[in-house]
Amino acid sequence: MNRLSTSLSHWSGHAINLDTWDSTSQWLVYALLAVGTLFWRWTRSSHKLKVPLVLAEEMRSAKARALEYCYRPRELMWRGYTQYSDQIFGMNTNDGVKLVLPTRFLDELKSHPHLSFKASIDNDMQVEYTRFGGPPEYVINAIKSKMTPSLRKLFCRSLFIPIVHEILQRKLSSEFGLYKDWTSVQVHDRVLKLIGTANARVFHCTKVTEIDEWIDCTTGYVISTFDAIKKLKAWPPYLRPIIFRAFLPERKLIQDQWYGARRYIADSIREKQARQGGPLEDPPSMFDHLTSGKNEHLATNLDEQVLYQMTLVAVGTVTTFASVTQCLYDLAAYPEYIPMLREEMEQAPRDPQGHFSKESLASMMKLDSFIKESQRISAPDLSTFQRAATADLTLSDGTFIPKGTKIECATSSIHMDPVHYENPNQFDGLRYYRARQVSGEENKHMYVSVGKHDLSFGYGRHACPGRFLGHVNIKLLMAEIILHYDIKNLPGQTRPKNDEFEAIVSPDPVHAILMKSRH
């Protein structure tokens, strides 16, 4: 008691004669401390999350609910979306409660200073283990200000579209093969390698598109990263360091993949120095942009350049190759779309070298619709508009969000809502094509569109800046495959189910379809 009283004396700044304190005074201090403690606890509890939790009525254990979310994510998200209608609801995960917000909050939060896209992605991708996180702001700015305009330029020699098209034309037969008769083909890894090769030119340089080790390191990193993420997130955070270091083969794979890529990036840095800082490519690659201009001070920083390249590879490859693979599975399941898509491609204009341009891709409106419909049902993420709160904040409806809480929108559920889509459970490859035939809607409902019901690429200033490159790669590769092969499912076979873990959606990696060369 004397130590407590002395502390109170110093705190109050007044001299207190402790010898004159009677028992009543002491009990008064105890009472004040008790009241203060209760008030503090009440204040903390009043600032906790107060939202309904999916499965809370069936399962009392938050750990059990988190495990259910790992392996039944689409079902649980749909349950929350339909059960709580226009309310905010929570999903228990091994990283804490994640909030799912109705779209009415999008405009309020799309540029909120206390919500971080990068912090959310860093956690989702387990950056401390995989090294893959949200790209730095200046990398995103380089994509928006440098790469995307290059893709958009028409009739210009420094144009990415014919360059990427030439790579895919040249590599297609060697990756997919030539088949006189119907042949069972596993397409997953073949698509990954083709997209990885095309991206190698856009992200790094032409030289590495012909280097097998570079392609193996970068595409292998994509697979290793997402395999590691799924394994790690099945465990609570405090066990992940042990699991990663002691039990995951992906740890060694990721180390080797980064080491292998590092050699070629070092070569490119030396070559750029020999050119006195001049670009390696025309049009410049992302490596050129990230080693010049405002980023010139990073031109010789090997560690940073390796980080940028591997981050770009992971971000720019996983969604694109997964989308093409999903489209091929849908095409095999619904081969009736092939003749109309092929006719559209055959009528598309080409340059004198036989390559497509932006104008060519824009003319493929039925293909655009087919790709978008495939994405509606099998998008790479069940949720988008991912953010993490970097400070406490309160929404306009009074909902308190503590610092560290992650938020998102239930994109997969929105895309299957009959309020927004007619017959949402039915695959309709021309759904968006018909929508664009309506007067005034011609430039809407496109694969790259972003809106409150077009959330596959997010919303607001953090909407995916690489979706334009992805759009180019997907259309070019789909066009080449459809023009050169007939496709269908094996007899009695249906479209494979997706591999879904938490919010990550991946195509079946071993599913085979039948292919036959047309020429």
Give me the sign of the Cα torsion angle 410, 413, 419, 424.
positive
Q: How many domains does the chain have?
A: 2
Range of the domain at 476: 131-379+418-452+456-517
Strands 96-100 and 406-409: parallel
The reported pLDDT for the residue numbered 147 is: 55
| 126 in Cβ contact with 228 (< 8 Å) | yes
The reply to whether omega before 465 is within 30° of 0 (cis) is no
Take residue 211 and report the two structure tokens written for it: 């280097």
Domain endpoint, select from 394, 417, 440 = 417
3-state DSSP assignment of residue 92:
strand
Neighbours of 30 (CB within 10 A): 12
Assess whether 195 and 321 both reside in one domain.
yes
Instruction: Find the CATH number of the domain harbouring 192.
Output: 1.10.630.10
Assess whether 363 and 392 both reside in one domain.
no
| 483 in Cβ contact with 342 (< 8 Å) | yes
Assess whether 106 and 222 both reside in one domain.
no
- In one-letter notation, the amino acid at residue 107 is D
Helix or strand (DSSP H, E) at 77: helix 73-83
| Non-local CB neighbours of 260 within 8 Å, separated by 6+ positions | 213, 214, 216, 217
Instruction: Find the CATH number of the domain harbouring 97.
Output: 3.30.43.20
Annotated binding residue 464: yes
Alpha carbon 480 to its chain centroid, in Å, reads 26
Bridge partners, 98 (sequence order): 91, 406
Assess whether 55 and 194 both reside in one domain.
no
The reported pLDDT for the residue numbered 408 is: 97
- In one-letter notation, the amino acid at residue 424 is P
3-state DSSP assignment of residue 277:
coil
Burial (CB count <10 Å: 0-12, 13-18, 19+), residue 212: exposed
Q: Look at residues 137, 468, 119, 473 and name the one whose alpha carbon lies nearest to residue 290.
A: 137
The reported pLDDT for the residue numbered 3 is: 42
Long-range CB contact pairs, 147-152, < 8 A, 24+? 147/202, 147/286, 147/289, 147/469, 148/465, 148/468, 148/469, 150/283, 150/284, 151/358, 151/468, 151/469, 151/472, 152/358, 152/468
Assess whether 159 and 225 both reside in one domain.
yes
3-state DSSP assignment of residue 229:
helix
Domain endpoint, select from 417, 436, 466 = 417
Assess whether 178 and 79 both reside in one domain.
no
Q: Rounded distance, CA 347 to CA 345, Å? A: 5
| Non-local CB neighbours of 274 within 8 Å, separated by 6+ positions | none
The reported pLDDT for the residue numbered 184 is: 98
Neighbours of 225 (CB within 10 A): 25
Assess whether 81 and 150 both reside in one domain.
no
The reported pLDDT for the residue numbered 31 is: 56
Assess whether 308 and 399 both reside in one domain.
no
| 217 in Cβ contact with 257 (< 8 Å) | yes
Assess whether 346 and 325 both reside in one domain.
yes
Helix or strand (DSSP H, E) at 174: helix 160-176
8 within domain boundaries: no
Q: Look at residues 346, 341, 414, 332 and name the one whose alpha carbon lies nearest to residue 377.
A: 414
CA dihedral (62, 63, 65, 69) in degrees, to 10, reads: 130
Q: At what angle do helices 2-12 and 23-46 cross, to 10 degrees?
A: 70
78 within domain boundaries: yes
The reported pLDDT for the residue numbered 294 is: 84
Assess whether 125 and 136 both reside in one domain.
no
Q: Rounded distance, CA 59 to CA 234, Å? A: 18
Separation in Å, CA 300 to CA 205, 262, 280, 344:
16, 13, 14, 47
Q: What is the pLDDT along the chain (519 residues), one digit of tens a residue?
A: 444 344 434 434 444 444 445 555 556 655 555 555 444 444 443 457 889 999 999 999 999 999 999 999 999 999 999 999 889 999 999 999 999 999 999 999 999 999 999 999 999 999 999 998 876 665 666 565 655 565 454 333 347 899 999 999 999 999 999 999 999 999 999 999 999 999 999 999 999 999 999 999 999 999 999 999 999 999 999 999 999 999 999 999 999 999 999 999 999 999 999 999 999 998 899 999 999 988 899 899 999 999 999 999 999 999 999 999 999 999 999 999 999 999 999 999 999 999 999 899 999 999 999 999 999 999 999 999 999 999 999 999 999 999 999 999 999 999 999 999 999 999 999 999 999 999 999 999 999 999 888 889 888 777 887 888 999 999 999 999 999 999 999 999 999 999 999 999 999 999 999 999 998
Burial (CB count <10 Å: 0-12, 13-18, 19+), residue 8: middle
Give me the sign of the Cα torsion angle 469, 474, 477, 480.
negative
Separation in Å, CA 103 to CA 85, 397, 399:
11, 13, 15
Question: What DSSP string describes 440-480?
Answer: T-TTSS-TT--BTTB-TT-SGGGS-TTHHHHHHHHHHHHHH
Assess whether 258 and 401 both reside in one domain.
no
